[in-house]
Structure 1
Amino acid sequence: MANTWLPPVEYIATLPRATAYACLYFTDTAGRPFQLRASDRTARWQWPGGNMDPGETPWETAVRECREETGMTFTGEPRLLGTHFVTDRGEDWPANHIGFIFDGGELTDEQIAAVVLDPGEHSEYRLRTLDEWEREMEPAEFARLAEIDRARRTGSTVYVETGPAAD
Structure 2
Amino acid sequence: MSRKWLPPEEFAAALPKATVFGAVFFTDEGDRPVQLRATYSSTHPWQWQGGIAEAGGRPWETAVRECREETGVHLAGPPKLPATVFGLPGKEWPLATVGFVFDGGRLPPGQLAGIVLDPDEHGQVQALTVPEWQELVPGRDHVRLEAVTAARRAGIPAYFGTWDGEA
Pairwise TM-score range, normalised by the shorter structure = over 0.9
Structure 2 match to 1:113: 113
Instruction: Give per-residue Cα distances to partners, 1:16-71, cap 9 Å, x unaligned.
Output: 11111110100011101000011014161110000001112111111111011101
For residues 108 and 3 of structure 1, what CA distance do their matches in structure 2 show? 58
For residues 86 and 3 of structure 1, what CA distance do their matches in structure 2 show? 30
For residues 114 and 61 of structure 1, what CA distance do their matches in structure 2 show? 22
Residues 1:72 and 2:77 are matched in the alignment = no
Normalising by structure 2, we get a TM-score of 0.93
Runs of 4+ aligned structure 1 residues displaced above 6 Å come to none
1:165 CA drift (Å)? 2.5
Change (3 A) 1:26 1:14: same
Structure 1 match to 2:35: 35
Structure 2 match to 1:45: 46
User: 1:1-167 residue pairs with structure 2 within 5 A?
Assistant: 1-2=1-2, 4-42=4-42, 44-90=45-91, 92-160=92-160, 161-165=162-166
Q: Number of residue pairs matched?
A: 165
What secondary structure is seen at the aligned counterpart in 2 of 1:162? Answer: coil
Task: Check the 8 A contact 1:70/1:118 in 2, yes or no.
Answer: yes
Percent of residue pairs identical: 44
For residues 65 and 162 of structure 1, what CA distance do their matches in structure 2 show? 21
What secondary structure is seen at the aligned counterpart in 1 of 2:134? Answer: helix
What secondary structure is seen at the aligned counterpart in 1 of 2:83? Answer: strand
Moved more, 129-138 or 16-25: 129-138
List gaps (5 residues or longer) in structure 1: none
List gaps (5 residues or longer) in structure 2: none
Moved more, 157-166 or 33-42: 157-166
Structure 2 counterpart of 1:37, which letter? R
What secondary structure is seen at the aligned counterpart in 1 of 2:165? Answer: coil
For residues 54 and 113 of structure 2, what CA distance do their matches in structure 1 show? 29
